[in-house]
Chain A
Amino acid sequence: MDPLCLISGDFGPFTPQIVTQVPLWLAIALKKRGKCSICPPQWMTVEKLTQVLEVERDSQEMSEHLPFHYVEISRLLFDHARDNIPDAYMVRSLIEDIRDVRFHKVETDLEGFNGRTIAVKIKNLSAMEVNIVRPFIGRALQAFYKHDSSELIPDPERAPDRRPQVAHNAPRRQLRR
């Protein structure tokens, strides 16, 4: 097939049995029409994912081996190209486990908010997780900001209503970690 000169870029030429690189939407479109088969990305093998799961379970930080949009990419590939992924069920259950572990970490991090938090930094968060926590973090930080700025004369007798200080990377002091 001839090279495609699209607005987004030039792709091709497409020859049978030769691996070509195209954007995901183009690959899915061609796959739907039965014109190609998709090579799964390198991070989407059972070995690599088991490795990532181990790393996630052991450390407090988020693993950086997964691309930003791994949930979306894996979902699309499962829906359209399941036959091109070896061990599809295994891969899928591994990805779900990784999602659970990561999100649990995010939740425990979020519990560590208090009035002194002015910015939140989380390394290697993925797109799906970002969009799940975004409204919450926005409103929580907003509420803290509002209540903090009106507290010009704090009442020393009032017991501070603080949440338990869990080890986390949210407060300002630990941002240089």
Chain B
Amino acid sequence: MGSRSAEGEQVPLTDEYDALISTTDVELLKRAWRNEKAAPEILRFESDLIIRVREQIELMEETVEEKSTVGTDPLSVSLYQMDLDRTLFLLRSYLRIRIQKIEKYMFHIRKTEELWNRLSKDEKFFTERCTDDLKKHLEESVLSTLPENYQSYERQSVISEEVDMVPEPRLDTFVLCRSKEYLTGIQLEDGPVDDRSKLFEMEPDVLYFICYKSIKPLVESGKIDLL
């Protein structure tokens, strides 16, 4: 590698650059990751996005290997490697957050149709094995030694009317969100009873702290971003 003087001057992000780069897969992954991190329940698995990102990562790994054997300058190789590491981190963190949520609420997810459909195939497999193992463990270690009426892992006792031993995600936590367009007609689910029927509106690009339950459908349709 020859000696290099100051290569060039670089300007950090400006607005039009933002617009240009906002449609890359990495940006979409970043957005999905942020939403997943902020939401109290598990969101839909972005299978197309993840498949594309995985392909790109594999391609990039091959390129990096090829370049380092061919002998291109270590600078470019290290930059490629850095970009690869960043993308890998996003992917891994996204998957890890989802697994954390699954582990926390696994019985609930297993039983709720809507949440079950949000998992990927691997996650479904993982959840099934996890629930079976945990159930078996609870039964063998504790439940079998309790008196007759208290042996279910789901209910406190046979006379409980609902399934009360399963932890459920708290959908009424307050989250920070931002919408990209002007949204009206959001029904607020919580708050003082007389206000419940009032409709709420959101301006674009303004941050709001709001109950997650009220904006759940909008997050799913992608109109609102959580921060």
Contact = CB atoms under 8 A, between A and B. Distances in A.
Interface residues of B, number: 52
Contacts of A156: none
Chain A interface size range? 35 or more
Interface stretch (A22-30, A49-57, A95-103): A22-30
B87 A7 contact: yes
B11 A6 contact: no
Interface of A: 1-2, 4, 6-9, 14-27, 29-30, 33-39, 41, 73, 77, 115-116, 118-125, 130, 134, 137-138, 141-142, 145, 148-149, 172, 175-176
Interface string B63-82: 00000000001011011101
B190 A17 contact: no
Contacts of B175: 138
B208 to A, nearest CB: 5
Interface-centre pick from B5, B76, B174 (highest chain A CB count, 10 A): B174
Contact of B83 (A6, A16, A122, A138): A6
DSSP majority for the A interface? Answer: mixed
Nearest to B5: A16
A120 B206 CA distance: 11
Given A8-B87, A36-B10, 7 more contacts: A6-B80, A7-B83, A14-B7, A35-B4, A36-B9, A116-B191, A120-B208
B14 A21 contact: yes
Nearest to A19: B9
28 contacts: A1-B76, A7-B56, A8-B26, A9-B20, A14-B8, A15-B8, A18-B8, A18-B9, A19-B8, A19-B9, A20-B10, A21-B11, A23-B13, A25-B86, A29-B78, A30-B79, A35-B4, A38-B11, A73-B12, A116-B191, A118-B191, A121-B207, A122-B206, A138-B175, A142-B172, A148-B191, A148-B192, A172-B195
Contacts, number: 162
Given A6-B79, A16-B7, A142 B173 contact: yes
A2 B8 CA distance: 12
A134 B176 CA distance: 8
Contacts of A34: 6
Contact of B21 (A9, A77, A119, A148): A9
B79 A39 contact: no
Nearest to B215: A119
Nearest to A152: B193
A21 B19 CA distance: 13
Contacts of A1: 7, 73, 75-76
Contacts of A121: 206-209
Nearest to A69: B13
A39 B9 contact: yes
Nearest to A122: B207
Contacts of B13: 21, 23-24, 41
Contacts of B207: 121-123, 125, 130
Contact of A8 (B21, B209, B211): B21
B145 to A, nearest CB: 36
B28 to A, nearest CB: 11
B84 interface: yes
Given A20-B10, A21-B11, A37-B9, A8 B83 contact: yes
A39 B10 contact: yes
